[in-house]
Structure 1
Amino acid sequence: MAASPGNDAVFTCQKSTLSGIPGTKKSPLSEEEIFYMNCRAAYLTVFKSSLENIISKDQLCLALQHAGRNPSQKIINKYWTPQTAKLNFDDFCIILRKEKPTSKAELLESFKQLDVNDDGCILHTDLYKFLTKRGERMTQEEVNAIINLADVNADGKFDYIKFCKLYMTTNDRCLKTTLEKLEANRKLRLQQFGSHFEGSPERDPSPVPKPSPRVIRKSDQETVSNKGEIRNSLLSATRKFKASVSFMITLAANSNQNARLMEPNLKDWQCVQSKGCFFLEDDGEIISHQYKMQIAQRSMVYLTIKPLNLSQVEGKSSPWLSVDTALYVVKESESEAHPQLVCFTDLRNREVFGWTGELGPGIYWLIPSTTGCRLKKEIKPITEEVQLVYRDEAGRLCLTSEFRSTLSDVFEVIDLDGNGFLSLEEYNFFELRTSGEKCDEDAWAVCRENFDTKKNELTRQGFLDLNLMEANDREGNPLDLWVTLHAMGYNKALELTEACPFVIDLYAEKCKPRIKAVLMEACSGQLEKAICKCVHSRGDAKVMDGYDNIIIHTFSCDTWITSTIENKSDNKVIIHINNELSENCVNNRGLNIFAVEVAPKSTMVCQHVMPLNEQQEWIYHCVFSLIS
């Protein structure tokens, strides 16, 4: 019979992971709950749903690896016999109960048997003989992939201590990432997995899934000797990292390099301006305004984007001013299936990013972008909530001075053309962001009748009065007002921490340019394609050793580094990314070690990296390893 979950080593290593996930229940999870959560997390790294079945040995091996196991071919054959057609999630759970995770100590002990000098390293010649000449043999290509792994090989030696650390950390990080996705996705959390329901109070406190007839066979009941299993685990561990490439880039402090963007003589150039904002969603996704630009005739163009300089209150932080900004210019053409990337604002002067060049007549998309390295979910708790409204001596409801100042800043952000008034179109961007609904012409007419307007546009005072009316409608309850403020990126201290307003300036030498915000959506899709094209055309490319269809592209400038992964193969791949050797760096994912899945025939942005302190040298050292 399977061992009790309390004896499973996976529980010990994952308790800390579970406790660190936002939204996890405060009460301690039982060993059984932890076991099933880990089973779900591992299963969902391979399959989109628990209702999908394992239909091949490769899928079984991959799912077991994501659950922290190192299945040898002998173990795989034990559960996947010639009579096996498929395994379900319950079968998977039973296998995990029987097959314990390999510990770091076991892996180290396996390698130490070959460490003749007891220095933590194995000669490549000895490793090659061991892996190709005895027991479950590896191919020459597989061994070469191990020997070529970056940062664990040097001077003809394999550093198995570093490798074991890399391997164990990969297991923990991959599982943590999947657990976080599982916790954030309510639909997946409530999904039925086999015979087990999460959060069902009626269930047996120690349920055991009903096994599938396909799994329980005579061979499963046999006691398998541990002799040789440590060596098999070693083979499986080394196979997990099929190949790797690494990038190392050293960049000087930016303090002396910020004058690269040179402003042309704009004396007779015509200018237009538009504002916008990056908003950070609860799931970490960033959305922003997107624009269409019209150039009437061929002309030199000067284009810049920078954070919007709002009023700054003494004692309150202004973190949005340090957020990086960029613009990608994409040419719209009816004759082309895919829009053409024209340029992006890669030159910088302090907080301003810009581009100068000639553009032909036509319609262009302007797609704002930020790496997300400095626009992240706020971690520090806000203990004291700012008061938004109060009652005067006559009992009338009033807005506090702090709230009025914040609303004035919000007005500045949503007044996209900067004329000091809100049009219906501008106001609807605000409404879509804060309530998800638009204001129609009839509602706008009512608004004009009750609040201060000028030429069919809402004034700043009218906007303040509109919010006061909302407070009065709720009899002073500020709950709805806080919903609006949070949607606009403000915390309980009225600090703008999860949004970055920006301003775009567009100059043209020979014509009057036009720019108009047309939508607000996630910074993905068209932007992702534009970033990938830019990185591929201007960055360095390295092919994964032994895998010509997997290419890592890296583009660096003074301000940030972007990496993309191109998968030309017909199968999805999982790439492990290790930034531990980088210095003075921060990335948009918030993890030094993580894994990404790249779909077949696709390219994805892997990560953006920026210096933590721009006044100091920063070293980007990243290792990309193929693990499946």
Structure 2
Amino acid sequence: MAISPGSDATFSSQKSMLSESSRSKKFPLTEEELFYMNCRAAYLTVFKSSLDNIISKDQLYLALQHAGRNPSQKTINKYWTPQTAKLNFDDFCIILRKEKPTSNAELLKSFKQLDVNDDGSVLHTDLYKLLTKRGEKMTREEVNAIINLADVNADGKFDYIKFCKLYMTTSEQCLKTALEKLEVDSKLRRHQFGSHIEGSPERDPSPVPKPSPRIIRKTDQESFSNKGGTRSSLLATTRKFKTSVSFTITMGANSNRNWKLTEPNSTKEWQCVQSKGCFFLEENGEIISHQYRMHIAQRSMVYLTIKPLNLSQAEGKPSPWLSVDTALYILKENENQANLQLMCFTELRNRETFGWTGDLGPGIYWLIPSTTGCRLRKEIKPITEEAQLVYRDETGELFLTKEFRSTLSDIFEVIDLDGNGLLSLEEYNFFELRTSGEKCDEDAWAVCRENFDTKKNELTRQGFMDLNLMEANDREGDPRDLWVTLHSMGYNKALELTEACPFVIDIYADKCKPKIKAVHMEACSGQLEKAICKSVVNKGDAKVMDGYENIVVHTYKRDTWITSVIENKSDNKVIIHINNELSKNCVNNRGLDIFAVEVAPKSTMVCQHVMPLNEQQEWIYYCVYSLIS
């Protein structure tokens, strides 16, 4: 039985350790920054660089221990399978997000179930039976190691209160040691993937001089090496790289107005179809969304748009998803689904709407929505009060609260993909797959139609409300299952939609009525990655690594974001170090100012998307790409 350390005590320990340095900063560290700092500290206690890979179970176990976890063998086996050859720093961060620490209170609660006398101790015989016969069984030697701890054992009893205290102290000390080592050895910071703790440009309000775009060569590094400041340290860092190339793009507030999307004058006479969908942010940071097939019967002039869907949020509550960027990639299906040809994408913008106008021939097209992830990301913020979902009246009858009904109505709007005010079985199954992972079959749907309000064999809004009320009644008012549904749909405990972005697609055609159907809901596919790479390579600016003509960095500037793609034409994999420290008023989809990527031979990959933090202000994109190996 392996148990993780307490989150509350660990977090307070980190706060106290960092209090002195944090007070000297104008901006205190956020919980997200503390998380990444803990990841780096633990990783760099085991490895020399964040670019090093974990190549064994023992290394993974040791790194997790330094992060304040105490993983069981089952946990290790979950992440290190027989097929695993290595894990990198990003993988390590994902594991730490999933393996949440256990609090001291939870630890005590587990032992109290065995404490029949309520005296803070458990008989060795009872402890032995529990640990060797239930759950993930421990060996006799492992149990004996616990029983032989002199500080927590006496007279045939195990003092679990002392054990919990000792355990928490030991776990905190592991993490504290790792953080202290990171703080003392400043050289380690230059090997990290992220640089939040050194004051990223996103948080630094001081002006940054506009650097000139050029390739950084050894002679340049020497001439700047003694000038001090961030620029000097940045260039000094590049000396360990084989070669570097930099990009500088200055974007004005609300820049590129000449890219503005304009609707064709005659669209009122064109035939139109609409479909809704949603981007969902997963626990591991992936973004999944609906994907569609569109049929055009004859060659037509087509006008396509995608934009966030505005919902009826309660007054005073934020609508953060309305600022999320959206895009739609249109790929034509040829002989089969595996052979898709990029036709176009929605690169023009009018406020929150992105669109494209052009000629499309008859055939089947795939519509793949995309968002950069710069503004749809995990937010760690305290919820002061959990919303109430259900209540009972004076007779004891159960009802849904007004706030919960409003939220369910918004969810209904999102999953009603065709917007006809009813849920078909196909539409409802997208909801079921998202919230429970299972589909509703025809027999179950027939039962649903018999018991809840339907129209034309489709579920009405009231029927959807009653379905959720039935679930609450089945649990005797316990809202836990309802919260699972809400969290799956992107809502937090305050009923705010923070980890999803609903959108709506409109398609106009002048010669025929297009047909569109949602067919999948999945993470960023290989087809989307290829489409983004192709669009950036075709339309962006390219720079070749000096002395390495097979390594090319492509950068494409759009109205509100910049995308970079790395092309590796060589026969060997390469590792590219990316440094965004001198960018101004920018945020990228990786959430890190400094990171590294591995590019496979003969391949192209999306490196990063960058957007302004504040569109009302000028933003400067300055990035150095350096070849490590």
Scaled by the length of structure 2, the TM-score of the pair is 0.67
Do the aligned partners of 2:49 and 2:188 also contact (CA within 8 Å) in 1? Answer: no
Distance 2:620 2:554 in 1: 17
Q: Which residue of 1 aligns with 2:263?
A: 263
Identify if the C-alpha distance between structure 1 residues 569 and 262 changes in structure 2 by more than 3 Å, giving closer, same or farther.
same
Please give the residue correspondences for 1:275-294 in structure 2 after superposition, counting only pairs within 5 Å: 275-294=276-295
Q: Which residue of 2 aligns with 1:194?
A: none
Distance 1:303 1:527 in 2: 18
Identify if the C-alpha distance between structure 1 residues 581 and 511 changes in structure 2 by more than 3 Å, giving closer, same or farther.
same
Question: How much has 1:332 moved relative to structure 2?
Answer: 0.6
Distance 1:161 1:584 in 2: 19
Q: Which residue of 2 aligns with 1:626?
A: 627
Question: How much has 1:548 moved relative to structure 2?
Answer: 1.2
Q: Percent identity?
A: 74
Q: Which residue of 2 aligns with 1:241?
A: 241
Do the aligned partners of 1:422 and 1:458 also contact (CA within 8 Å) in 2? Answer: yes
Please give the residue correspondences for 1:382-461 in structure 2 after superposition, counting only pairs within 5 Å: 382-461=383-462
Q: Which residue of 2 aligns with 1:296?
A: 297
Q: Which residue of 2 aligns with 1:328?
A: 329
Identify if the C-alpha distance between structure 1 residues 577 and 42 changes in structure 2 by more than 3 Å, giving closer, same or farther.
closer
Question: How much has 1:146 moved relative to structure 2?
Answer: 5.3
**Corresponding position: 1:347 with 2:348:** yes
Matched to 2:218, the amino acid is I
Distance 2:588 2:533 in 1: 17
Identify if the C-alpha distance between structure 1 residues 400 and 337 changes in structure 2 by more than 3 Å, giving closer, same or farther.
closer
Deviations 1:301-330 (A, max 9, x none): 000000001002111100011111110000
Distance 1:505 1:579 in 2: 36
**Corresponding position: 1:39 with 2:42:** no
Deviations 1:330-356 (A, max 9, x none): 011007963111000000111110000
CA RMSD of superposed structures (Å): 3.4
Q: Which residue of 2 aligns with 1:495?
A: 496
Deviations 1:549-573 (A, max 9, x none): 1111100012110001111222222
Identify if the C-alpha distance between structure 1 residues 419 and 104 changes in structure 2 by more than 3 Å, giving closer, same or farther.
closer
Question: How much has 1:594 moved relative to structure 2?
Answer: 1.5
Question: How much has 1:590 moved relative to structure 2?
Answer: 1.2
Do the aligned partners of 1:570 and 1:601 also contact (CA within 8 Å) in 2? Answer: yes
Distance 2:41 2:594 in 1: 23
SS in 1 for 2:267: coil
Do the aligned partners of 2:304 and 2:355 also contact (CA within 8 Å) in 1? Answer: yes
Matched to 2:518, the amino acid is A
Do the aligned partners of 1:107 and 1:164 also contact (CA within 8 Å) in 2? Answer: no
Matched to 1:243, the amino acid is T
SS in 2 for 1:254: coil
Structure 2 unaligned blocks of 5 or more: 1-13, 22-28, 60-87, 89-180, 191-214
Distance 2:223 2:365 in 1: 50
Distance 2:187 2:49 in 1: 23
Distance 2:51 2:559 in 1: 38
Distance 1:263 1:145 in 2: 44
Matched to 1:289, the amino acid is H
Q: Which residue of 2 aligns with 1:516?
A: 517
Distance 2:382 2:316 in 1: 17
Runs of 4 or more off by more than 3 Å in structure 1? 19-25, 33-38, 40-52, 100-108, 152-155, 157-168, 335-338
Identify if the C-alpha distance between structure 1 residues 241 and 160 changes in structure 2 by more than 3 Å, giving closer, same or farther.
farther
Scaled by the length of structure 1, the TM-score of the pair is 0.67
Identify if the C-alpha distance between structure 1 residues 609 and 43 changes in structure 2 by more than 3 Å, giving closer, same or farther.
closer
Q: Which residue of 1 aligns with 2:315?
A: 314
Question: How much has 1:449 moved relative to structure 2?
Answer: 1.0
SS in 2 for 1:294: strand
Q: Which residue of 2 aligns with 1:478?
A: 479
Distance 1:607 1:260 in 2: 24
Question: How much has 1:39 moved relative to structure 2?
Answer: 2.3
Comparing 366-375 and 260-269, the one that deviates more: 260-269
Question: How much has 1:104 moved relative to structure 2?
Answer: 5.7
Aligned pairs, number: 458
SS in 2 for 1:244: strand
Question: How much has 1:38 moved relative to structure 2?
Answer: 3.4
SS in 2 for 1:290: strand
Comparing 425-434 and 545-554, the one that deviates more: 545-554
**Corresponding position: 1:252 with 2:244:** no
Q: Which residue of 2 aligns with 1:147?
A: 218
Distance 2:596 2:449 in 1: 53
Distance 1:44 1:545 in 2: 23
Q: Which residue of 2 aligns with 1:582?
A: 583
Deviations 1:575-627 (A, max 9, x none): 11111111111111111111112222221111101111111111111111112
Please give the residue correspondences for 1:69-84 in structure 2 after superposition, counting only pairs within 5 Å: none
